[in-house]
A and B are shown apart, each in its own frame.
Chain A
Amino acid sequence: MKISDLSELAVRNLRESVLRNSLTTVGISVGVASLVAMLSLGTGLQQMFTRRLEKSGLFNTIVVSSRREMRGMRRDNEQNGVNPAESRVLDESARQEMEKLANVVEAYPDIRFQTELRFQDKPHLTMVSALPQSAKSNDAFDGMQGNFFSSDTAPEAILQKSFAEELLGKTPPLGAPEPNVADLAKPLLGKELTMVYPQRESAVQPLLRPSDPGSNQNLAGASYSVISREQKLKIVGVSDLDPESMRGPMRGKLFIPLKLAESLHVMQQADLRDISHAGDEPVYGSISVRVKDPSQVKGVEDAIKSMGFSTFSILDASRSMQQVFKVLFAFLGIFGSLALTVASIGIVNTLVMAILERRREIGIMKAIGASDADVKKLFFAEAGAMGVLGGVVGVVFGWAIGQVINFGTNIYLKRQSIPPEHFWAVPWWLAVFAIIFALIVSLVSGLYPASRAARLDPVQALRYE
């Protein structure tokens, strides 16, 4: 029989005992719905975590340091590549080179220094860190009071919560509840701070005489002086960021715009180490390279390594997290499939009942020329039709359950003043997979009834009233 005839006859037969067949179909759709609900919860959670992680900038950032950086005593420095002393200096031209690599969004120097700040004539020592404008979208600043820097060169500052407490003299005793950021921000926003910092200034004249015999020509520009300078900063924001959090440039208590920091030529640790470095070009302790997507981290990292620098990323952490999600996914899938298994028993039952009921009909069909295969296919088609129908209804049903739960949870989150989350996702592949899975399950369930119907003896079937 042709497929079109098969499906037509199958649908007709299903309509004949509407109640029983629709109950069976509802069974399948409940099974599919539970499967879809479980897997879409898994997918949604994974997407939510991925989104969060991307926002945190942890997984798409590579921290580049010079191989000359010996403090970490990294193994690969000793084992691979050139001798650190002969390796490349992490300077502005290296930064520009990295920024030109494929898939790199930006490469910015990590400028961080400890210095003194004066607020209302009282000195405070703290760690200052420079931030690029792109950090604005980082979730680290989600709970910030006030605004982000108005421009990349503005003389503005964002305070970390604990530093704000210090400025106001409100540091809570250990174990006491943390004061509200909004309360801290109110008296501080718009106020002025004075930053005192050491500026590196290249010497106008080289201290070494080039004519001096035995002197190294390369050292000609490697002389500078350090001058104390002051810079006024306006407080524009107070962040509730945890200073202990592992966020590269965000490990600081006071943040200033990156370009402003660069223009100040603050004396850096690398300046001391690379004293032999010639010229006025800035040298950086480390550079953060942001790539478009965490999946591209590996390639970019390799490219930077081949330039002769050391790199660090937490890609490995994200890999093991994906492993966790795979296990979670499998578990949710197994639980979701349980209901579908129960539903498949329903299909077997319905079709076996249908054989008993339609025994005579099968006999007639055989008498007028239906082959075993025709009868088998007809029962298969009926099972398949119930499967597909149940699958489609189940996907819609599962999606609806997800929407309701998402809605309900977000009401709860709102009450707890946590921003709403979208943790329920039914991607198209999940919908297609669920329908195909329902079809396969129902066809497998149809195997036994179909072959039983096909084997029916026509003479006995015709005698049956």
Chain B
Amino acid sequence: MTTAPTISAARETIAIRSDNLCRHYRMGENVIRAVDGISVEVHSGEFVALLGSSGSGKSSMLNLIAGLDRPTAGSVVVQERDLAKLSREELAKYRLHVVGMVFQSFNLIPSMTIAENVELPLRFAEVERSRREALAMDALGRVGLRGRIHHRPTELSGGEQQRAALARALINRPQLLLADEPTGNLDSHTGIEIMDLIREFNQQMGMTVVMVTHERALAERYAERMISLADGKLIDDRPNTALAARTLEAQL
């Protein structure tokens, strides 16, 4: 692979660094510690799975990295941006240009066609219409949806909707892909198709991937590194040796 040296060079840099990251909610009298003092580093180009049962704080962690939420204490630095210090406006720009997100429930806008959904981030980025259409076609081609561009989300299967969501996530060429249970609403066969696409983005485009899942098997099959959370705390962080062995096997 000719790109291997550059990707491995990129791996030297740190994409995400959280330092004693906390996100506490107040619920009446109780304080819920959704994220409670997590310090991790994720390198550029890494494929990381955030594992944990529901309520473990993995989604809250992802929202903090995505810049959708602000930490109560501690810091999260993504691509050298301290997210806690960004203004609302700067945070929106960060989400627009640095991050791509996919969700369990796809989150396509039902009143728009697939093409319009995919183009939407480009509208916020004030990209010319003709260029917008070309980029959307390109992204949709990449996920194999070129034939369905004028359909509305409800006319598509779950797998197709998630592909469209993936196309939307990568339209602005983000450095970071954040996936929140991307296969949660899909059958296992379709789930594998989606995961293969995400791995493709990770390997061919060098995107850093952080995937939240509660399925250990899925994480073992795709992630290079598995971080386990429970009650908002980091309980385990280790490389996926099984995957590394398989990759080595395949290369030999």
Taking Cβ atoms with an 8 Å cutoff, the residues of A that contact B are: 1-2, 4-5, 9, 12-13, 16, 360-361, 363-374, 458-459, 462
Contact = CB atoms under 8 A, between A and B. Distances in A.
B199 interface: no
A13 B109 CA distance: 11
Contact of B63 (A13, A369, A374, A459): A459
A372 B89 CA distance: 7
B89 A369 contact: no
A454 to B, nearest CB: 9
B111 A364 contact: no
A368 B92 CA distance: 8
Contacts of A13: 111
Given A459-B63, A462-B103, A368 B93 contact: no
A369 B68 contact: no
Contact of A369 (B93, B111, B129): B93
B69 interface: yes
B210 to A, nearest CB: 15
| Interface of A (DSSP majority class) | helix
Contacts of A16: 111
A368 B88 contact: no
| Complex A-B, nearest 9 residue pairs according to Cβ-Cβ distance, in ascending order | A369-B96, A371-B92, A5-B123, A369-B95, A364-B107, A458-B68, A16-B111, A369-B124, A368-B121
A245 to B, nearest CB: 70
B66 to A, nearest CB: 7
28 contacts: A5-B123, A5-B126, A12-B111, A360-B107, A361-B109, A365-B124, A366-B68, A367-B68, A367-B101, A367-B103, A367-B107, A368-B96, A368-B101, A368-B121, A368-B124, A368-B169, A369-B92, A369-B95, A369-B96, A369-B97, A371-B88, A371-B93, A371-B96, A372-B88, A374-B92, A459-B69, A462-B68, A462-B107
Contacts of A370: 92, 96, 124
B121 A369 contact: yes
Interface string B155-179: 0000000000000110010000000
A368 B112 CA distance: 15
Given A370-B92, A371-B124, A364 B66 contact: no
Contacts of B172: 369
Nearest to B120: A368
Interface string B20-36: 00000000000000000
Interface in B91-129: 92-93, 95-97, 101, 103, 107-109, 111-112, 120-121, 123-126, 129
B66 A367 contact: yes
A366 to B, nearest CB: 7
B34 to A, nearest CB: 11
A363 B107 CA distance: 9
A155 to B, nearest CB: 82
